[in-house]
Structure 1
């Protein structure tokens, strides 16, 4: 009931946030509200005595699903940099807290030897149960997918024995496990064992399962047997370019049929033709376009150097520097994305 209640509370808080965020225009307020969403879900769950951690995770899933349609590009860029730093800090803090908790547990138990003597057997059982439960869940789910496939459900795609084995073995535990253990009341019977069990599960799953994952993949002969999706990346880009061109064509003429935006129309037509060619022959197209990107990046670097020179000489104010530098940064990111570089903006 604790987990089910946490899901219900997290769903309610996440849904309320989605409705609220559509009415907020200030991007700083949007980032702040998204950050406070997890705290609201956790406090609401704990207030009615259900799992606050599960409520937080559920609200986060809803946030991740709807952020693409509720947030602007500027908000996502601003928020991703802030959230990445915040997540790193909070995860480090959780591990520090569990370290402090383990030290006090060891002292209360009479030393590390006493802990290993009295808790070794239960910890081994818990670790095996956690790993075994994931195998049961994964293979049972795969069996259900096989049944649905036989019944004619085309979207049901069974994993197969090799893929299911690898997926089951990747059940590494992390900060959520520690967070759940730390939320237990201090007066709760067996809390010390639960904290050590959480730490042991993380230690074993990360080191043993994570360290052996590569050898397991080679051992089972894992192959990607999934059928390719109907559209490739290049074809999806071509479809987006055609949609943009249709919107530009619909707005490029006035009510009398006179062309009023010839340059914009020409730009979108050129992009549509380029993406169509890229979809037909991506390798050949990218070889020729690389020099084009290099010229654009060189121009941006020169523009940035000129901007800094103007600021250093006192010809522009700080606000102008920040605004123009942001524009150059966004322009550079766009080029790097088009060039195919994998940028980590989380």
Structure 2
């Protein structure tokens, strides 16, 4: 689809325009042919792009599958955080160091899932972005645990 929607003949036309005015036989004819090819390509391919997209039928994301994938990812994040909390004996007490350790464990779990190909790249990217934002917010708040 990218090729079909590309710049058909634009480079050829630009190259033809750079031909020196003297010393090139039939320069005007070459420029006209390059222009005709570019215009023809534009009209033919531009006029049929809608048909071509319908023919390819690009995949549409299924909301139920995305919801299921996000639910699985939340389970992975919850498991990672519960492990850190139980190891630190921090039930009910979340100091800055514990929160940062939870974020690190969650990030590592997501990166492992990425390496395994468990989740979609877009879903993983958004989850990692949220973790980064949480880490920055905790760091900027400062406090006694800084």
Pairwise same-fold verdict (TM > 0.5): no
Query: Which structure has more RCO (C-alpha within 8 Å, separation ≥ 6)?
Result: 2
TM-score range, shorter chain: 0.3 to 0.5
In terms of Rg, which structure is larger?
Answer: 2
* TM-score normalised by length of structure 2: 0.44
TM-score by length of 1: 0.21
